[in-house]
Chains A and B, each alone.
Chain A
Amino acid sequence: MSFDLDLIVQALPELLQSVLVTIELFVLLMLIATPISLLVALARVSSMLGLRCAAACYVNGIRCIPVLVILYFTFYGLPQLGLRIAPFTAALTGLTIGTVAYLAEDLRAGLTAIDPGQFQAADALGLGYWWRTRRIIVPQALPVMIGPYFTRAIVSLKATSMASIVAVNEVTGESMALLTQTYRALEFLTFAAITYLTLSAVLAFAQVILQRKVALP
């Protein structure tokens, strides 16, 4: 018995389809989680005590629960409450809830790195909160945020593999399905590993490009 490339070639349509599902799940996850995380991070450093507390509770609560358990909640728990959602949606929801808690902390670090003098200058000019945030604070925080952001993105990419457990046929799920059909593990698991490796490399590459783009002059 050796590594049989033919097996992969034969199953390529299904495998590529599953890669698309992984990409879709990941892209949607980041598209939804990023703005929410930014809002949670802003709430964490807000001057309003209520907001700060609520955000801190969310972050510290969710961080103490395994993402897998959160996924089970959205997959098995929500239907029990009468909320019928597709497996993909359940996985996306669960992953978002988990990712936001971690990502918000990463982004907060970028916000707190900003010189308090910047806030003072903006306030002295009478700039409003959202103007200040959008034009002054976030642009300056981006260079600091971008490294941790992409590290978190890669972690989240790998976390999408948990969706296989709640019946989403992404790369890991599809590979496991083929494994049980053919009793061949090495081929499909290698395919899965290479997929994650490639997608992570794309992310790392994107980080380098973006890092240059958002660098302060």
Chain B
Amino acid sequence: MKATLWVTRYDARPCREDIASRTGMTMIELAALSEHGAHESAVVNVAPLLRIKKLVKRYGPKTVLHGVDLDIPAGRVVALIGASGSGKSTLLRCVNYLEVPEPGSEIWLDGELIGQDARSTPPRLLQGAALRRQRSQIGMVFQHFNLFPNLTALENITEAPLAHRRATKAEARMQAQALLDQVGLHDKAASYPSQLSGGQQQRVAIARALAMKPRLMLFDEVTSALDPELVDEVLKVMLQLAQDGMTMVVVTHEMAFAAEVADRVVYMDQGRIIEDGPPGSILRNPRHPRTQAFLKRMLRTG
């Protein structure tokens, strides 16, 4: 469907260079695909919304991500699980370049190289407005909400659209109010974060991340800091978002949520993805002994 959209937008069939840049595939890979009988525009159809290629991240001498590859098609929900320190947060933070990965790593969002200028060789790091625009297409929600305490719930949500000059003040406020309705907080517009419960704060944070109409949402243990009775209201909002077709990467310890909502579960261990598949098979019949041990621990502690 995306291919059709794209083709009609430009009123032309995508040429191979375009597809290469949109999918992050090399020309050689594309040529090989065509030889195997796949039409090039079909490649666009299956091209993932998020493509992570050879993602390496080091802190000093310590390698935290060892060349992670991960493709996520549009509209899918991927649950990212793994022990503490396995690199889940670092992976998410590399996707929107809050952390700059090592040279050679590539993050592609809908055919656009994130954080680097694809036209220069070797790719130069993007700075300033270009990087900010890319980040605005990726929503991120944090474990500790990180709402701006000096702004009301509504102002938290309007901040990004106003900073990016996406909307007038009136438009931004209307849209923010609609988002507050969507997360079930229509009467909290004027409340400050300190006046909201943890669950409410996290829902405002989700609304804030949605205000830029992102194409991808990243969730980093967004229910871990919540009292147990507040977890469900946040998960419900995320479930609704998934059903509305949002592409999501969800780092979580909520195995029930992963089982129910995720299309795929990815298990990370010491900076590597060692298991990747549908939730049923990963959560019930993990093949890797480390995944088995991890899940056994999770079940024990709840």
Contact = CB atoms under 8 A, between A and B. Distances in A.
A124 B148 contact: no
A127 B132 CA distance: 7
A123 interface: yes
Interface string A131-171: 10001100110000000000000000000000000000000
A125 interface: yes
A145 to B, nearest CB: 13
A169 to B, nearest CB: 44
B144 interface: yes
Interface string A112-139: 0001011011111111100100011001
Contacts of A135: 148, 151, 159, 163
B208 interface: yes
A217 interface: yes
Nearest to A132: B163
B84 interface: no
Contacts of A126: 131-136, 160, 163-164, 212
A124 B135 contact: yes
A216 interface: yes
B136 A117 contact: no
Nearest to B92: A124
Query: Which of A120, A121, A128 gathers the greatest number of chain B CB atoms within 10 Å?
Result: A121
B150 interface: yes
A127 B159 contact: yes
Contacts of B131: 126
Contacts, number: 72
Contact of B142 (A121, A139, A217): A121
Nearest to B132: A126
A124 B132 contact: no
A144 B130 CA distance: 34
A155 B216 CA distance: 53
B194 A117 contact: no
Given A136-B150, A216-B150, A125 B160 contact: yes
Contact of B212 (A125, A136, A216): A125
Interface size class of chain A, counting residues whose CB lies under 8 Å from the partner chain: 10 to 19
A120 B146 contact: yes
A217 B195 contact: yes
Contacts of A216: 149-150, 192, 194
Given A127-B159, A128-B132, A135-B159, A117 B146 contact: yes
A195 to B, nearest CB: 37
A127 B146 contact: no
Given A123-B135, A126-B132, A117 B208 contact: no
Contacts of B113: none
Contact of A124 (B98, B144, B150, B151): B98
B98 A217 contact: no
Contacts of B205: 121
Interface in A80-138: 115, 117-118, 120-128, 131, 135-136
B50 interface: no
A121 B146 contact: yes
A115 B212 contact: no
Contacts of A136: 148, 150, 159
Contacts of A118: 146, 148
A120 B148 contact: no
Nearest to B93: A120
Given A117-B142, A118-B146, A136-B148, A125 B133 contact: no
Given A125-B208, A127-B160, A217-B194, 17 more contacts: A118-B148, A120-B98, A121-B148, A124-B96, A124-B140, A125-B136, A126-B131, A126-B132, A126-B134, A127-B132, A127-B163, A128-B129, A128-B163, A135-B159, A136-B148, A136-B150, A217-B192
Interface of A: 115, 117-118, 120-128, 131, 135-136, 139-140, 216-217
